[in-house]
Chain A
């Protein structure tokens, strides 16, 4: 063995007193870690294959298993971390770009965790959501500039197309292909049950999910996979994906082995062919081209659907958002640098883009400075991890949030970050029939509904504590936020005060 040998990152600890050799672990592991040694009548493990997905641990009936990070280590070095060295070994022996999945795991600051919420004391009452109405309904889309009434005071004006949500949380774009059919089904059903939306991602929409159309956002991305007239008309809104937080500036790649008959049909490409989305849209090289696409899509759908433009949070995000707000788009979705993905080049995932908190604050303020905030709604995603993150995002200025990773975790994802391999043991990010069956869409739906219900209740509790009984009075209400441990510049960008001020 040469430098390509890397000691396994995880060790499989098996308690042989507990192990009954039922071989469940072996059957459950798509990576092929566990195997039965008949000669010695014992279960063994090839730890080099283990990705720490926790499937075997979860399924073991006798709790005989645990996965432990190995203690084997290179000589510690604060500059040259073990991963860094190992990645160089990998590249030196393969010549390839490194691939990763899910969101940026690096130790960058989380601004959500440095923002604290307010609560009422004495001078105004907190409101108990169990006793008083507490409203989390939101409408996404343009607001009319002026309302017109006839001489009898009857409204003449009509609302521009909007999305009506019962709570300010939607499932973000994840394609059928990247996700299994059962995962998609769970998202579609849960969105419908909760009065919110899920998003097809760039994978088209399988006919079987058309009935969930009123709660479906259909995406148009640079590869245009699965885009046709019925598809555009099937959803409640259309999202143009310009970028994604996990991989700003680059396109996508769904490998041919994930393109089975159903994925192929939905994407409208031959079975087994790679689905490659280019980095830019080849008809959008500037903002005025975006405007043409926005209006092409509106034209194709009789101006009945709001159009979302999704971008990654990058340095110049405020100016870009201003351009988008003037492009005719109804909603802008901004995806932070922590956003997840089914596959991204590691260097891009870990080094490109900016935190969503700062991007959101900058965009909201910029649109207000330009007096065009009412022309567009803001949706943010890219590591919204809890209802508290949602409340903070809305107080910073968002209309609603997208959650991707959190939804997948509710479906069973353990964040082993190996989606790109297509061997997801939880039946989420895979197309292998036997693995897909592991995700029961009825249970998946229930878990997602539970998650959204729990979050919505928590959002109401936090709002009530602040004395706010409607989510619109929270939107952009930055006085409800205080920073801890931030520099003046950070506070200035976020537009909030420091705790104690």
Chain B
């Protein structure tokens, strides 16, 4: 029997795409991102597709939205018992899907809008940071409840993913029913997977979602480092470890995305030597301190977060990634065709250099 993600490390190639409206308006329909990623059909092999949408749940914007895969009723009951103890569940339902003949073996897919019940949590856990508790909940359910897997845990955002080509997955989840200010998408070309839905991408923790194309050669160095700080790399995938690294540097260490990019795709020492003194000093300190978070090997990633995204290539640019902008909307994709498909008259598509992040912030006014 094939081993699933988490039991074995599975490298994969992929396609990625991202769209963000700088104004923060929920102007991008789910159909648009599906059209974009669909063009890159040949970059996936039908073993995984997925999407992250930001701003899709305006009615529950202040609640955490948990998207959960269940293998069976027992897993669901056990998970709901856990959620009931610590959270006020504002709304729960099956995520609406439409049958698609190319999407088979779907698990039970549920969605919960929850608010943490702090007095209960504190009774059991003492003083604890809210976000830390959410992260702990995700780790707990995914690790200890057999057959349950929380794959989305942010506020006013959600992940939709599964085994299949991304355009079929988009159709399956009825993404045309969602409007967002930012979407990212992923088409997966794994070299070896039994087709486990949880192993598909985007991978997310809290508001951070990561879609990634590549196979990082630094994986185990990164994994063994980040696991010192309470993260458990259960899936053994690149995307998972990249998500944790970004979460660690952002949430626990307070770096901005510019600095995060400088840490994970650090400039070469010879470039640092040529920098102005102040900048060189800071860069040397960052690279030296977080040397084990340097990511090598090919990658292009789009990391979505609350009101923004960051796109980044490895420092040698071993994976294709292009970007363009028109009318306050920024487009990023593995291939230019994926941008032109949804914005035919765009000008000035460019290929960002290796290690040079594209960081886009969306206005919070529009909400």
Contact = CB atoms under 8 A, between A and B. Distances in A.
Interface of A: 120, 123-125, 127, 132-133, 135, 137, 139, 143-144, 146-147, 154-155, 157, 159, 162, 368, 371, 373-374, 466-470, 472-480
9 contacts: A123-B12, A124-B298, A132-B316, A154-B278, A368-B224, A368-B228, A473-B221, A476-B220, A477-B221
Contact of B296 (A139, A371, A467): A467
Interface in B350-364: none
B281 A469 contact: no
A157 B66 CA distance: 39
B289 A473 contact: no
Given A154-B282, A371-B228, A479-B219, A473 B288 contact: no
Interface string B274-285: 000010011011
B217 A468 contact: yes
Given A124-B215, A137-B269, A368-B227, A473 B296 contact: yes
Given A469-B316, A477-B221, A478-B220, A143 B296 contact: no
B268 A147 contact: no
B221 A124 contact: no
B58 interface: no
A157 B286 CA distance: 10
Given A467-B217, A468-B218, A476 B292 contact: yes
B264 to A, nearest CB: 11
A123 B13 contact: yes
B288 A162 contact: yes
B237 to A, nearest CB: 13
A473 B295 contact: yes
A139 B218 contact: no
Contacts of B286: 147
Contacts of A472: 221, 291-292, 294
Given A139-B291, A475-B292, A371 B217 contact: no
Contacts of A159: 284-285, 288-289
Contacts of B214: 124
Nearest to B271: A133
B229 interface: yes
Contact of A143 (B282, B288, B315): B288
A479 to B, nearest CB: 4
A399 B153 CA distance: 37
A147 B224 contact: no
Contacts of A125: 298, 318
A240 B191 CA distance: 50
Nearest to B218: A473
Interface of A is mostly: loop
B9 interface: yes
A133 B268 contact: yes
A466 B217 contact: yes
B9 A468 contact: no
Contacts of B11: 123-124
B177 interface: no
Contact of B221 (A133, A135, A143, A475): A475
Nearest to A368: B228
B270 interface: yes
B125 interface: no
B147 interface: no
Most B-side CB within 10 Å, residue of A123, A144, A374: A123
Interface residues on B, range: 35 or more
A481 to B, nearest CB: 9
Given A468-B217, A476-B224, 20 more contacts: A124-B11, A124-B214, A133-B268, A143-B289, A143-B291, A144-B285, A146-B253, A159-B289, A368-B227, A368-B228, A371-B229, A467-B215, A468-B218, A470-B266, A473-B222, A473-B294, A473-B296, A477-B218, A479-B9, A480-B220
A272 to B, nearest CB: 48
Interface string B186-228: 0000010000000000000000000000111111111011011
Contacts of B253: 146-147
B227 to A, nearest CB: 7
Contacts of A478: 220, 224
Nearest to B10: A123
A475 to B, nearest CB: 6
Closest A-B pairs by Cβ, 5 of them: A473-B218, A467-B217, A479-B220, A472-B291, A124-B215
Contacts of B282: 154-155
Nearest to A469: B296
Nearest to B191: A123
B217 A124 contact: yes
B285 A468 contact: no
B107 interface: no
A327 to B, nearest CB: 20
Nearest to B297: A467
Most B-side CB within 10 Å, residue of A132, A143, A147, A374: A147
A416 B120 CA distance: 73
Nearest to B9: A479
A168 B297 CA distance: 21
A44 B297 CA distance: 63
A347 to B, nearest CB: 38
B285 A157 contact: yes
Contacts of A135: 268-269
Contacts of B228: 368, 371, 373-374
A137 to B, nearest CB: 5
Most B-side CB within 10 Å, residue of A124, A127, A147, A478: A124
Most A-side CB within 10 Å, residue of B270, B288, B290: B288
Interface string B249-270: 0000100000000000010111
A99 to B, nearest CB: 42
A437 to B, nearest CB: 41
Nearest to B270: A133
A132 B11 CA distance: 23
A499 B327 CA distance: 54
Contacts of A368: 224, 227-228
A362 to B, nearest CB: 14
Most A-side CB within 10 Å, residue of B13, B268, B282, B289: B289
Interface string B325-363: 000000000000000000000000000000000000000
Nearest to A141: B288
Contacts of B219: 477, 479
Contacts of B225: 373, 476
A374 B253 CA distance: 15
B13 A470 contact: no
A157 B318 CA distance: 34
B298 A474 contact: no
Contacts of A475: 221, 291-292
Given A120-B217, A155-B285, A477-B220, A470 B296 contact: yes
Contacts of A474: 218, 221
B96 to A, nearest CB: 36
A371 B225 CA distance: 9
A35 to B, nearest CB: 58
B245 to A, nearest CB: 13
Most B-side CB within 10 Å, residue of A132, A473, A480: A473
Nearest to B11: A123
Contact of B281 (A127, A155, A371, A479): A155
